[in-house]
Amino acid sequence: MSSPHLSPSPLVLSSSLSYRTVLPLTACIPSRLPPFGSHFHGPVFEEQPSSVVYPEGLSKGTVTLNCQARASPAATYRWHVNGTNVPVGDLRYTLVAGNLVISGPQYGSDGGSYQCLAMNRCGTVLSRVANLKFGYLHDFSGEGQSPQTVYEGAGAFLACQAPAHYPALSYRWFVNDFPSFVKPDGGRWFVSQVTGNLYLAKAEPNDTASYFCFTTIDMDISTKSTFSKANQLTVQPDGTGVKSAPAIKVRFPAETYALAGHTTQLECFAYGNPIPKLRWRKVDGLLPSKAGASAEGPILTLPEMTFHDEGVYECEAYNSEGRDKHQGRINVQAQPEWLQVMSDSEVEISSELHWTCVAAGKPRPSIRWLRNGQPLSTQVINLALEDSGMYQCVAENKHDTIYSNAELRVQVQAPDFRSNPVRRLVPAARGGQVMLECRPRAAPKPTLFWSRGTELLTNSSRVTVTPDGILWIHNISRADEGKYTCFAENYLGKANSTGHLSVRDATKITLAPSNADINQEENVTLQCHASHDPTMDLTFTWSSYNGIDFQSRVLDIIEFHLNSNYLQYWDLLIVSGQLSQAGTYSCTAQTVVDSASASAKLVVRGPPGPPGGLVVKNVAETSAELRWSRGYDNHSPIGKYVIMGCSPLSSGWRTMRTEPSNIEGNAESARVVGLLPWMDYEFQVIASNILGSGEPSMSSHTVRTQQAAPTVAPSGLGGGGGDRNELIITWTPMAREYQNGDGFGYILAFRKRNTPTWVVERVSNVESSRYVYSNQSLSPYCPFEVKIKAYNRKGEGPFSQIALVHSAEEEPTVAPSRINATALTAFEMQVSWDPVQHLSIRYWRQHEREAAADRVRTAGLETTARVAGLRPSTRYHVTVLAYNSAGTGPASPKSTVTTRRPPPNRPPGNVFWKTDGSWVTVRWDHVKALGNESAVLGYKVLYKHEGQSALKVLDKGKTSVTLPLPKDNGYVVLEIRSWGEGGDGAAHETIVSRDSGERD
């Protein structure tokens, strides 16, 4: 179980056990116990018994309750049942190692609470309690329930009336024959796992049947099931189809107690037509995400309960006819859990012991103590050797009992310095002080005193002997050198230990660091020189009260050794000083016997620190007042402030307009202006001085400016089209920054052109961009004047400019006339007609279906169109249709045209050229058309000079052409092709240079 996190809380308890004793030794255990870590120790559980549910009436089985403990010497075991000894050795009770085996457990004689005792000569501990209970499930009563009749569409339930049982049952229902179990069927059916009843949200005629309640119990080694007599349900047809709002029939308790770490379920189910849907919510917070899909079902499942899940939960059933709600509270309780436990302790017979246990739980756990398995009824005040043993702290509430175990050993021995003698050599600095410790092992505590030679030391102006045996010598001189002996004595014996005090020269700071004052990014050096006793090593350390880690900073420490005085220099160089490095720096020179320190203060001047305490007040529609407190000026006066702001519409922080526009350094308030109404803003304040701008303040809390009526009209007003008798008006939805308030919508005004009365309509959806006005009296393509404005809770904005929008057109009713189709080439034709707006040309080859015709569209008042991509020598049928936004009109009479024969597919051949000065003459052979090709009427020559992008075209009836040559020895790119009625033939491409040549 996770910690309930109740501290501070009345659920957190503590209990302590204290001992203060000085007793003579009387013991039934050895007079000297071995120390911890030795071979002997008390029992420590490795396996403890667990509760068991055993089937009632199963006579030949066995139950095993486990108990194993690690101990030295090995543990022996006993068992208690309901507080009395289990008669191990009886034929039915067997001890296998520490485990208790019960043969043929019997209800009435063997049920109860079992506890294992593990013991050795160091002490006894009790295990946790394990319950042996017997599971049973009786048969249903022989009496069936009365048949039920309901009308179609109504709700119903069938009661299970489960028989006597232990433990809890699970429930299912089957229909007519096993195992045809009832299924949810879209939420119509529900089986309560609390009562076992079967609920039907909306009955249907085919639900008429016999229903049986099927119950099951799960035990540790088996399961058992049984089912009821038939429950007859008859559904009468009802042709009225009456609908009904939800009515919740399965309600979870008003108070539910859940256990932390466990799963809790709440049930909710409703009658209704249509079948109600269910949804759950937490009234006083967010519904835990772990509820998952169950948040929309009849059973809300909350696994791994915590105290955060505590609160009021609501089930809502809803359909098209209405809704119903039910609420109840979940109170989370917790099993005891240790927050602090005691640990094994080894104490001297004359010392003091304080043990503490702290447990958390709900309800509040009680705490008691055990020693060697027996209750401690009163506080132990005379601790003796026989108080050694196993101790247990027990915390319990109604949910569980937990144990914390520890071993106590009371030690007794004569003084002994072998494990902790006085230091053999103790160096000390002249003029300083020294501490000599005397810590022998002894129980009870020994009497301690010191001597120097034969002189017994007592407290004086320079010498202090503490009750716990520590010797202090102050203002040390050379005369204090010598041997010092500590004597220890208790009633078991005596011992002593000696050390030698050696006096050395003191360490001194000869050049201390000086205070420094720098600007940010400047360097500074702090010096530190020291002298010390030449027989010892000297180490330097730098420290700072501002928390700088000298291992990770950019620092340069330089060491020098000079002359016979053995001086050392350690200079601290701080590179590119920062504001965070300001503070007090201390240099310490240290030997093993003493140290000397000196400090200096470093001031770093820089841009100001962030202002504090930023608050926003007096928020209006387009302005807000900001107040703040001065931050650190970092040793340079603040010159001015700048206010930054951001909103959901901005990509980041930007400088805001303020009043006054320039905020002086002594100001602590200003007004931000030019804000958008009904917009969320956050603000920051930045201070600056002659050294730069500082870090911004913490962001203010988010504020929303006051609402205001819209100030601009929607844009993009237009429309048209649609179905007959419709006027469609469109516009661009207003962006968030122009809405200025909630309750936002649009007001449309429109009228027929040249009429006085406006029709006004409201559109309440902010995202709307279209309005359709339908009226059977609307004339087709009738002009309307249209204007629009926005509104919100605070008022209305201005109207837009008037736009002209036409109502929907009727599809054309007249076909185009005077259709004429003429073949232009083998691949193109031209179609002409009398003027009509928006035409569609259909054309298809002979022997093809008109439905498969290709189309070409034109716009406006054009009277001709070219149709390309045709096949040569092919007969085509052509019709022309008028169209508009309402559809397409009737087709014109059909016209027929045959495309021309194709041009030759061979390019001109035998191309050659000859140059004459700046001109070139190109010649080629005539292309002769074949019988199925159109006659050649001439040639097209396309050419361009080197480096040019444009082509020039020459039409020639001859088979030669003279062209100018480039002046810079460039070349000419040529493309020569034949042409005729069928169009252009295949091209011959060549490159012509100043040298005569030939290209095939």
* Residue 8, pLDDT score: 28
Q: SS3 for 851?
A: helix
Over residues 310-353, the pLDDT tens digits come to: 999 999 999 989 999 999 999 999 999 999 999 999 888 877 78
Q: SS3 for 356?
A: strand
Average pLDDT over residues 503-529: 92
* The pair of three-digit structure tokens given for residue 215, joined into one six-digit string: 């119950």
Q: What proportion of the chain, given as a percentage, has pLDDT over 70?
A: 89
Residue 991: which pLDDT band, with cuts at 50, 70 and 90? confident
* Residue 558, pLDDT score: 42
Average pLDDT over residues 747-769: 93
* Residue 663, pLDDT score: 97
Angle at 215 between CA 212 and CA 219, to 5 degrees: 165
* Residue 986, pLDDT score: 82
Average pLDDT over residues 399-415: 93
Q: What proportion of the chain, given as a percentage, has pLDDT over 90?
A: 61
- Higher-pLDDT residue of 735 and 948 is 735
- Asked if residue 299 has pLDDT above 90, the reply is yes
* Residue 997, pLDDT score: 57
Q: Could you give the CA distance from residue 124 to residue 80 in angstroms, rounded to a whole number?
A: 14
* Residue 157, pLDDT score: 94
* Residue 511, pLDDT score: 92
- Asked if residue 567 has pLDDT above 80, the reply is no
Average pLDDT over residues 869-894: 74
- Asked if residue 987 has pLDDT above 90, the reply is no
- Asked if residue 9 has pLDDT above 70, the reply is no
Residue 33: which pLDDT band, with cuts at 50, 70 and 90? very low
DSSP 846: T
- Asked if residue 27 has pLDDT above 70, the reply is no
Q: Could you give the CA distance from residue 191 to residue 162 in angstroms, rounded to a whole number?
A: 13
Residue 568: which pLDDT band, with cuts at 50, 70 and 90? low
* The pair of three-digit structure tokens given for residue 574, joined into one six-digit string: 């701080």
* Residue 988, pLDDT score: 80
Over residues 272-291, the pLDDT tens digits come to: 999 999 999 999 989 999 99
Which is nearest to 824 in space by CA: 832, 816, 836?
A: 832
Residue 815: which pLDDT band, with cuts at 50, 70 and 90? confident
* Residue 711, pLDDT score: 96
Q: Could you give the CA distance from residue 648 to residue 682 in angstroms, rounded to a whole number?
A: 10
* Residue 920, pLDDT score: 80
Q: What values do phi and psi take at 851, rounded to 5?
A: -65, -25
Over residues 616-644, the pLDDT tens digits come to: 999 999 999 999 999 999 999 999 999 99
Over residues 799-808, the pLDDT tens digits come to: 999 999 999 8
- Asked if residue 39 has pLDDT above 90, the reply is no
DSSP per position, 616-684: EES--SS-EEEEEE----TTS---EEEEEEE-TTSSS-EEPEEESSSEETT--EEEEESPPTT-EEEEE
* Residue 886, pLDDT score: 58
Average pLDDT over residues 205-228: 93
Q: SS3 for 560?
A: strand
Q: SS3 for 129?
A: coil
Which is nearest to 749 in space by CA: 758, 740, 757?
A: 758
Cα first-last separation, the chain = 95
- Asked if residue 885 has pLDDT above 70, the reply is no
Which is nearest to 907 in space by CA: 979, 976, 957, 999?
A: 976
* Residue 765, pLDDT score: 87
**Contact call for residues 271 and 155 (beta carbons, < 8 A):** yes
Q: Could you give the CA distance from residue 454 to residue 232 in angstroms, rounded to a whole number?
A: 111
Helix ranges (H only) for 695-768 are: none
Return mean pLDDT, the chain: 87
Cα dihedral sign, 284-290-291-293? positive
Q: How long, in residues, is the chain?
A: 1000
Residue 20: which pLDDT band, with cuts at 50, 70 and 90? very low
Largest distance between two CA atoms of the chain: 148
Q: Could you give the CA distance from residue 763 to residue 791 in angstroms, rounded to a whole number?
A: 10
Average pLDDT over residues 706-720: 95
Residue 11: which pLDDT band, with cuts at 50, 70 and 90? very low
Q: Could you give the CA distance from residue 976 to residue 943 in angstroms, rounded to a whole number?
A: 9
* Residue 91, pLDDT score: 82
Average pLDDT over residues 461-478: 94
Q: Could you give the CA distance from residue 769 to residue 257 in angstroms, rounded to a whole number?
A: 53
**Contact call for residues 160 and 80 (beta carbons, < 8 A):** no
Over residues 484-495, the pLDDT tens digits come to: 999 999 989 999
* Residue 810, pLDDT score: 74
**Contact call for residues 572 and 520 (beta carbons, < 8 A):** no
Tokens 């949810």 belong to which residue? 184
**Contact call for residues 305 and 215 (beta carbons, < 8 A):** no
- Higher-pLDDT residue of 828 and 195 is 195
Residue 705: partners with Cβ closer than 8 Å, 6 or more residues away: 619, 620, 621, 622, 623, 624, 675, 676, 677, 678, 679, 681
Identity of the highest mean pLDDT range in 38-52, 86-100, 738-752, 880-894: 738-752
* The pair of three-digit structure tokens given for residue 105, joined into one six-digit string: 């457990």
Over residues 155-174, the pLDDT tens digits come to: 999 999 999 999 999 999 99
Residue 873: which pLDDT band, with cuts at 50, 70 and 90? confident
Q: SS3 for 946?
A: coil
- Asked if residue 843 has pLDDT above 50, the reply is yes
Q: Could you give the CA distance from residue 569 to residue 511 in angstroms, rounded to a whole number?
A: 9
**Contact call for residues 400 and 259 (beta carbons, < 8 A):** no
* Residue 864, pLDDT score: 80
Residue 83: partners with Cβ closer than 8 Å, 6 or more residues away: none
Residue 720: partners with Cβ closer than 8 Å, 6 or more residues away: 728, 805, 806, 807, 808, 885
